[in-house]
C-alpha cells in the first residue's frame, strides 16, 4: 500500500509521518490490516482498509458496532469490545483515496492463531464467543443492519454455487468435478436447514458470524482468551453460525489452507472443549430447539464454507485471496474432508453433546 496514503489516513487521527512505523499484519481474507507502532511510546494500533467488494456500505458496520458498543457499555461496562477510535473530526471511519479506513487499539500482549494446539485454547475461545452471545441475548437484533445481505443464508449460498456452476468453464468444472458432486450429495443439509429455519424457539440473535479462530485474541503469556475481534459481520442471525464456525476452525490441527487432506481429522477432545466452553456461557439461554441443533451447527457451517470456496474457485477466485491458482479448490477439498469426518464421527460427537447437556455442573 502506498506510504503516502497511510500517512494521509493517520493524519486524520492526529499522527505525523515521523511519529510512526507500520507493517502489514494478520492473515484475514477480507480487509487489509496494518500494525501501527508509535515511536518511543508503547502505543500500537491496528489500521484496516475495508474491502468494498465485500462490504458495499461500510457505514452499516460502523452503525452496528456503535449500537452494540453503546448497549454493552450500558449493561456490562467492563466488557472489552474493540470499537473504532474516532478520527480528529469525531468520525468512526476515515474516507480517504476512495477507501474507508478504521483504526482500533492494538490489544496489548495479544496473539491470534490460525490453528489451535491445546483443547484449553478451544475452551477459552468458545467461552469468549459464547460470552458475547450471552451479553447480547436481550439485545434487539433486528436493530442491526445487514452488512452483507444473506451472509449465512445457506439457500443463497447454494444458489450462488449453482450460478457459479452454470457460468464456469468446462476446464474448471472438470477439475472440480469430485467436489461439485459432494456439494450436491450433501445438499440435504440445506433441505434440513430450510425445514427448521423458521421454527418456533429458533430465534434470531445478535451474532458475530465469523468465529474462526483467527478472530479471537489470546493473552501471549497465559493463553487465556482476551476478546473477540473482526466485528464486521455482527448482525442478526442464528446461533448455529457462531457455534458452527468454531467447530470448523478449532476441530482440526490444520487450517482450511492445508492442501494435504489426509491430514484433516477431527480432534474429539477439542469438540468437547468447544461444547463445554460455549454452554458455560449460553447453556441457560439456548432454547430446547436450539440445543437440539448443536451437532447440526457444525454440518451447516462446514458445508456452507465448502460451497463458498468451491463457488469462488468456479468463479475464478474473485472473493478469497489466493497464493496459487487452485487454492480455493484445495480449500473446498479440505472443508469437504472435514465434513466427511464430522459425519463419520457423528455418533461419538453426539454422545459428547448429550453428556455436556446433562452435566449438572452447568447452571442451566
Ligand atoms: P479480516 O476481516 O481481514 O479477517 P481482522 O479484523 O480479523 O481482519 O484482522 C486481521 C488480524 O489482525 C487478526 O486475525 C489479528 O491477528 C489482528 N488484529 C485485528 N485487530 C486486532 C486488535 N485490535 N488487536 C490485536 N490484533 C488485532
Ligand atoms: C472470511 O475476514 P475473515 O478472514 O475472518 C469470511 C468468512 C469465512 C472465512 C473463511 C466477510 O473471514 O465468512 O468464513 O473468511 N468473511 C467474510 O476463512 O466473507
Ligand atoms: Mg478476521
Atom of ligand 1 nearest to the CA of 29: 3
Task: Band the pLDDT of 361: cuts 50, 70, 90.
Answer: low
Give the CA distances from residue 354 to residues 120, 266, 291, 341, 358, in Å, rounded to whole numbers and listed in that order. Answer: 20, 18, 10, 20, 6
44 lines ligand 1 (CB under 6 A): no
Helix (H, G, I), strand (E, B) or coil at 45: strand
Atom of ligand 2 nearest to the CA of 27: 4
Task: Band the pLDDT of 321: cuts 50, 70, 90.
Answer: very high
Instruction: Give the model confidence (pLDDT) of 116-140 as tens digits.
Output: 999 999 999 999 999 999 999 999 9
What domains appear along the chain, each with residue ranges and CATH number? Answer: 3-106 (3.30.200.20), 119-359 (3.90.1200.10)
pTM attached to this predicted model: 0.96
Instruction: Give the model confidence (pLDDT) of 252-304 as tens digits.
Output: 999 999 999 999 999 999 999 999 999 999 999 999 999 999 999 999 999 99
What CA–CA distance (Å, rounded) separates 342 from 149? 28
Ligand nearest to the CA of residue 306, numbered in listed order: 2
Q: Is the pLDDT of residue 363 over 80?
A: no
Percent above pLDDT 70 for the chain:
98
Q: Is the pLDDT of residue 104 over 70?
A: yes
Characterise 109 by phi-psi region: left (phi > 0), alpha (psi -120 to 50), beta (else). Answer: left
Say if CB 149 and CB 237 are below 8 A apart: no
46 lines ligand 1 (CB under 6 A): yes
In this structure, the residues whose C-beta lies within 6 A of any atom of ligand 2 are 28-30, 54, 210, 212, 215, 230, 233, 256, 305
Instruction: Give the model confidence (pLDDT) of 194-235 as tens digits.
Output: 999 999 999 999 999 999 999 999 999 999 999 999 999 999
What CA–CA distance (Å, rounded) separates 25 from 255? 18
Alpha helices in the chain (DSSP H): 3-12, 58-75, 119-135, 154-167, 170-175, 177-185, 188-196, 239-250, 268-282, 288-291, 294-314, 327-344, 346-358
> Quick one: pLDDT at residue 228?
98
Amino acid at each position: 500500500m502506498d506510504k503516502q496514503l497511510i500517512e494521509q489516513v493517520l493524519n486524520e487521527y492526529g499522527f505525523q509521518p515521523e511519529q510512526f512505523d507500520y507493517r502489514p499484519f494478520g492473515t484475514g481474507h477480507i480487509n487489509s490490516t496494518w500494525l501501527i507502532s508509535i515511536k518511543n511510546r508503547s502505543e500500537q494500533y491496528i489500521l484496516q482498509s475495508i474491502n468494498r467488494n465485500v462490504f458495499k456500505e461500510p457505514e452499516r458496520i460502523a452503525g452496528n458496532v456503535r449500537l452494540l458498543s453503546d448497549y454493552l457499555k450500558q449493561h456490562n461496562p467492563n466488557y472489552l469490545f474493540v470499537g473504532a477510535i474516532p478520527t480528529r473530526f469525531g468520525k468512526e471511519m476515515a474516507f480517504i483515496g476512495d477507501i474507508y479506513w478504521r483504526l482500533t487499539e492494538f490489544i496489548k500482549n495479544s496473539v491470534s492463531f490460525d490453528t489451535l494446539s491445546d483443547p484449553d485454547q478451544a475452551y477459552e475461545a468458545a467461552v469468549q464467543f459464547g460470552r458475547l452471545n450471552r451479553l447480547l441475548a436481550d439485545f434487539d437484533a433486528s436493530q442491526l443492519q445487514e452488512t452483507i445481505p444473506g451472509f449465512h443464508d445457506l439457500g443463497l449460498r447454494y444458489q450462488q454455487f449453482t450460478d457459479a456452476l452454470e457460468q464456469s468453464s468446462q476446464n474448471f468444472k472438470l477439475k472440480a468435478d469430485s467436489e461439485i458432486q459432494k456439494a450436491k450429495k450433501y445438499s440435504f443439509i440445506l433441505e434440513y436447514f430450510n425445514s427448521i429455519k423458521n421454527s418456533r424457539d429458533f430465534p434470531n440473535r445478535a451474532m458475530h458470524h465469523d468465529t474462526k479462530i483467527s478472530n479471537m485474541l489470546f493473552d501471549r503469556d497465559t493463553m487465556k482468551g482476551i476478546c473477540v475481534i473482526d466485528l464486521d459481520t455482527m448482525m442478526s442471525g442464528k446461533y448455529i453460525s457462531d457455534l458452527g464456525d468454531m467447530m470448523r476452525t478449532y476441530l482440526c490441527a490444520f487450517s482450511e489452507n492445508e492442501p494435504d487432506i489426509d491430514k484433516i481429522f477431527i480432534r474429539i477432545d477439542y469438540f468437547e472443549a468447544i461444547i463445554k466452553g460455549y454452554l458455560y456461557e449460553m447453556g441457560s439461554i439456548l432454547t430446547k430447539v436450539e440445543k437440539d441443533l448443536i451437532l447440526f451447527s457444525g454440518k451447516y457451517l462446514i458445508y456452507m464454507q465448502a460451497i463458498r470456496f468451491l463457488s469462488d474457485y468456479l468463479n475464478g477466485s474473485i472473493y478469497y485471496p489466493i497464493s496459487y491458482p487452485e487454492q480455493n479448490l484445495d480449500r473446498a477439498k479440505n472443508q469437504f474432508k472435514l465434513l466427511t469426518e464430522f459425519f463419520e464421527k457423528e455418533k461419538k460427537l453426539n454422545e459428547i453433546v448429550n453428556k455436556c447437556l446433562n452435566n449438572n455442573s452447568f447452571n442451566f
